[in-house]
Amino acid sequence: MLSHQTVWAAIDALAERYSLSASGLAKRAGLDSTAFNKSKRLSADGRPRWPSTESIAKIIVATGSSVDEFLTLLDGRGARSGGQASPRRAAVPMLGFAQAGAGGFFDDAGFPAGHGWDLVELPAQARDGAYALQVQGDSMLPLYRDGDVLIVEPSATIKRGDRVVVKITTGEVMAKIMSRRSADKIELTSLNPAHPMRSVPAKQLEWIARIVWASQ
């Protein structure tokens, strides 16, 4: 049965699914940050105040979810038995390696930008700015297979031996192991032993970010 309580519960569940508070969800959707506060769900005289269909449409677009997903939460199927909420899942933007070399997908610091990203859910919280790259082809065997998803954090500290994603000025995006870094160059070991080590002059390096997780 559709009720005031179930509609608001579905909004709360959508916010939690995408690792947001109710106010964070409102702000992401371009609404007033207090729009979904519990104090706003009843009028001054105690009557139920319903969210508008426009507000619901905006939060669906803002999270990259779908009407079907929201209806699932509205129906209560997004929760565990016993009324406990589903485990919190972080949602991050995802792009294929083949597309990552094209312009417009990253800012100068290597953070996701522009349009054309998909959205993927993770089983754990991700830091702000994290994103996913999907492996395409067999150039990263034996560590990563075609279809594996790599979670990348541009703000993570990088040290020798870390697995990283690197973009250079030619537009090439590659996953490597950071072997050595100096003021004038960076040396990268290939994940696939059939590929040679790469030495990239510092002036050709657009950005480098650490791989923090992989779905394998």
Give the pLDDT of residue 80: 41
Domain's final residue, options 47, 74, 101 = 74
Tally of domains within the chain:
2
pTM above the 0.85 mark? Answer: no
Same domain for 68 and 96, yes or no, is no
How far apart, in whole angstroms, are the C-alpha atoms of residue 59 and residue 139? 38
Domain's final residue, options 74, 99, 119 = 74
How far apart, in whole angstroms, are the C-alpha atoms of residue 17 and residue 90? 7
How far apart, in whole angstroms, are the C-alpha atoms of residue 213 and residue 126? 10
2 CB-contact burial (10 Å; exposed 0-12 / middle 13-18 / buried 19+): exposed
**Domain harbouring 160, CATH code:** 2.10.109.10
Coil, strand or helix at 211: strand
141 CB-contact burial (10 Å; exposed 0-12 / middle 13-18 / buried 19+): middle
Residue 82, in any domain of the structure: no
Same domain for 52 and 150, yes or no, is no
Give the pLDDT of residue 52: 93
Coil, strand or helix at 98: helix
How far apart, in whole angstroms, are the C-alpha atoms of residue 24 and residue 2? 25
Please say whether the beta carbons of 13 and 86 come within 8 A.
yes
Give the pLDDT of residue 90: 63
Same domain for 70 and 101, yes or no, is no
- DSSP H or E segment with residue 93: strand 90-96
What are the pLDDT digits (tens) for 138-178? 888 888 888 888 989 998 899 999 999 999 999 999 999 99
Residue 86, in any domain of the structure: no
Same domain for 69 and 96, yes or no, is no
Block residue for tokens 């999270």: 63
Residue 83, in any domain of the structure: no
Same domain for 41 and 123, yes or no, is no
How far apart, in whole angstroms, are the C-alpha atoms of residue 193 and residue 52? 56
The bridge status of strand 198-201 relative to strand 131-134 is unpaired
CA 215 to chain CA centroid, nearest Å: 14
Residue 181, in any domain of the structure: yes
Residue 79, in any domain of the structure: no
pLDDT in tens, the chain (216 residues): 678 889 999 999 888 887 788 888 888 888 988 899 888 888 878 889 999 999 999 999 888 888 888 888 887 765 443 444 444 456 778 888 888 888 788 888 888 887 778 877 765 556 778 888 999 888 888 888 888 889 899 988 999 999 999 999 999 999 999 999 999 999 999 988 888 999 999 999 999 999 988 875
Q: How many CB atoms lie within 10 A of CB 90?
A: 18
Same domain for 106 and 58, yes or no, is no
Domain's final residue, options 49, 74, 99 = 74
Residue 84, in any domain of the structure: no
Same domain for 104 and 203, yes or no, is yes
Which domain range does residue 133 map to?
Answer: 91-215
Please say whether the beta carbons of 8 and 48 come within 8 A.
no
Give the pLDDT of residue 125: 58
119 contact partners, CB below 8 Å, separation of at least 6? 63, 64, 65, 91, 92, 93, 94
Give the pLDDT of residue 81: 38
